[in-house]
């Protein structure tokens, strides 16, 4: 059972990392415009100037 000593903290830390990542995305407004994000990814404006 000694394996628990690092497995349990590892599981908790991973979960906590996920939670913090979610709170960060929420704070930076990434859920404000879900439909827009789906469309913006199709636009390739950002490639102009680099490829040409």
Partner 1 sequence: MSEAVDFSTFIERKADGTAHIALAVEGIGCAGCIRKIEGGLTKLPGIVDARVNFTQRRLAVDWRDGAIDPARIVSELERIGYRAHPFAPERAEASETQHTKWLLKCLAVAGFAAMNVMLLSISVWSGDVSDMTSDTRDLFHWLSALIALPAAAYAGQPFFQSAFKALRARHTNMDLPISIGVILALGLSLYETATHAAHVYFDSAIMLLFFLLCGRYLEQAMRRKTRLFAGNLASHKAAFAHRLDGNGELTQVPVAALHPGDRVLVRPGALIAADGAILTGASEIDESLVTGETVPRAVHAGDFVYAGSTNLAGALTMRVVAAGGGTLVDEVERLLRKATEAKSRTVRLADRAARFYAPVVHATAALTALGWLIAGASVHDAVVTAIAVLIITCPCALALAIPAVQVVAAGQLFRSSVILNSGDAIERLAEVDTVVFDKTGTLTLPDPEVDTSTIDPDLLERAARLALSSHHPLAAALARQVRLRAPYASAVEEPGRGVRALIDGKEARLGSAAFCGIDAHTAAVSAPAGTSFIAFAHDGQVARIIIGQAPRPDAVAVVQALQARGLDLIILSGDRPDAVAAVAAQLGVQQWMASLTPAEKIAVIELLKSKGRRVLMVGDGLNDAPALAAAHVSLSPITAAHLAQTHADALFLGERLTPVLRAVEVTRRARALIKQNLVLTVIYNACAVPIAVAGLVTPLIAAVAMSGSSILVTLNALRARLSVAPPQLAGEAAQPPAQAEPLANATMEPTR
Binding site for partner 1 (CB under 8 A): 1, 4, 8, 11-12, 15-16, 18-19, 22-23, 26, 31-36, 39-40, 42-43, 45
CB of 10 to partner 1, least distance (A): 12
Six-digit token pair at 41? 């990814």
Place of tokens 């960060």: 24
CB of 51 to partner 1, least distance (A): 17
CB of 18 to partner 1, least distance (A): 7
Radius of gyration, CA atoms only, the chain: 19
d(CA 46, CA 40): 11
């Amino acid at each position: 059972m000694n394996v628990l000593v690092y497995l349990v903290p590892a599981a908790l830390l991973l979960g906590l990392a996920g939670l913090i990542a979610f709170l960060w995305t929420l704070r930076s407004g990434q859920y404000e415009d879900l439909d827009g994000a789906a469309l913006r990814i199709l636009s390739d404006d950002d490639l102009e100037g680099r490829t040409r």
